[in-house]
Amino acid sequence: MKNFNSRKDNGSILLSFVITLPFIILIASSYISLASNSFRVSRKDQFHTYAQITADAGADYAVDKIGDDASWTGTGSEIELQNDGTTRTTYEVSVASTSDSKTITSIGRTYWPANSATSTSSSTIKVDMRPVTSGDYSVVSGVGGLVMNNNSKILGGDVFINGKISMSNSAQIGLTTSAVNVNVAHQSCPQPPSASYPRICNSGENGQPISLSNSAKIYGNVKANNQTSGTSMFNPGLTASSGVSAEPLPSYDRDAQKAAVASTITGSSAGCSSGTKSWAANLKITGNVDVTNTCKVTINGNVWITGTLSVKNSAQLIVSNSLGTTKPVIMVDGNTADFSNSALLKDNSSDTGMEIIAYKSDASCSPDCSDVTGTDLSSSQNDGRITIDNSASGPHSIFYARWTKVTVSNSGQLGALIGQTVELSNSGTITFGTSVGTGTSFWVIDGYRRSF
């Protein structure tokens, strides 16, 4: 048999090592560079977050200072907010003022290391403020009362309620620094309603007129018939449990406006989708009116609409400058007057807005009733006739549901609300108050924005 010797192979890995080593070094360098870049980006974002939070703190500080002293002009220099020996943050605030506006500029800065003379990151925010006046009623309701929930707030103007107040979920009336007057007549009896409805409830009848729950608060001088609990009422809170007389809602000479009609057009002629329109003074519009899609309608005087009114999608109703301080009235006889999706009731150069009055009720005489009482009023008071939502606004305009309910949701900058029932819901902050009347002026937030 043949003897096979084992075969021995001789070689070297040096060549393979020389070829692969540069690739290994390149891959390792790429990972190190990626990790280093990620760390720098993360660190930069962290420093910017510190600066943003500090700028917000500066803005909050400025709002409080202006609430105490409207002439406050800023910090004058940087104020240190935090210093842990490694990182330091500061804010610097300045205030630019005119007679009807203030703009807060708050600059937050982050320093790393803490003893650095130059900031590592900065963030600037601007807060716009406007004055409102307390001393005139901005919210007035009839027997249906006032309902507030979901963080809705009334921050300017006093409140008069013929019926009851129900507040929940962090709803708030007034400010810690600027209390308002709240008067509640408790005109909600008898229950169930009869021909004698409404009248002021007797002591112990139909409960207490003010109900606050889930962190709701009132900052103001509260006077309410039959109210014995002052819980969650401050500055000074409940001061009287009697003595509030029921007051009729404002009257208006509807017949005179109808008699003054000088021209008549149809709802389709009056409405528009984009473009511009002009409504003449003493105008009657028959049928439903839709103003939408950035359309701008100039109001030159009183308008009577026999159907519904819908203003939406950034459309505007604009008070003519020719009216000066004369507020035009738009009477709506249809089921609804709706303002939504950034609709604007724009005042003129004299800060004059308009008044929207909805007259529909459940009574057989509607919409021409001279008075609605008893079960007709009871059944009408919760019918939603005026709706304002999704950033619709009217800074100097009045929204008046004569026998029914006005509802506000996700909106702000409203002149005044009047209705048998007023309901505020899903709203961050609603700052009521027109520029008319004399009273105590204070400043409220009108806008917040980043500055780049």
Range(s) of the domain holding residue 163: 138-240
**Cα–Cα dist 68/440, whole Å:** 13
Strands 158-161 and 172-173: unpaired
Specify burial of residue 115 (Cβ count, 10 A radius: 0-12, 13-18, 19+): exposed
Query: Which among 173, 167, 174 has a CA at the least distance from the CA of 149?
Result: 167
CA end-to-end span of the chain, whole Å? 93
pLDDT bucket at 133, cuts 50 / 70 / 90:
low
Q: What is the pLDDT of residue 412?
A: 64
What is d(CA 185, CA 162) in angstroms, rounded to the nearest whole number? 5
Specify the DSSP class assigned to residue 393.
B
pTM here?
0.69
**Per-residue confidence (pLDDT) for residue 66, from 0 to 100:** 85
Asked if 127 and 142 sit in the same domain, the reply is no
Of 218 and 33, which is predicted with more confidence? 218
Q: What is the 3-state secondary structure (H, E, C) of 202-240?
A: CCCCCCCCEEECCCCEEEEEEEECCCCCCCCEEEEEEEE
65 pLDDT tier (thresholds 50, 70, 90): confident
Task: Judge whether 451 lies within some domain.
Answer: no
The DSSP H or E segment spanning 278 is strand 276-279
Residue 443 has pLDDT above 50, yes or no: yes
Residues 386 and 274 in one domain: yes
| pLDDT tens string 378-436 | 999 999 999 999 989 998 898 999 999 999 988 767 888 899 999 998 764 566 654 33
Q: pLDDT tens across 23-32, in order? A: 777 777 776 7
Domain endpoint, select from 72, 96, 131: 131
Asked if pLDDT for residue 135 goes beyond 80, the answer is no
Q: 229 near 239, Cβ under 8 Å?
A: no
The answer to the question of residue 9 being in a domain is: no
Q: Are residues 88 and 181 in the same domain?
A: no
Domain endpoint, select from 192, 207, 240: 240
Report the number of distinct structural domains present in the chain: 3
Q: Which of 187, 216, 240 is the last residue of a domain?
A: 240
Whether the per-residue pLDDT at 364 is higher than 80: the answer is: yes
**Structural domain includes residue 256:** yes
Average pLDDT over residues 7-12: 56
Beta strands in 112-227 (DSSP E): 121-134, 137-148, 153-154, 158-161, 165-167, 172-173, 180-184, 210-212, 217-224
Band of residue 42 on the pLDDT scale cut at 50, 70, 90: confident
**Phi-psi region for residue 279, left (φ > 0), alpha (ψ -120 to 50) or beta?**
beta
Same domain (yes/no): 303, 378: yes
Cα gap 415→431, rounded to integer Å: 8
pLDDT at site 437: 34
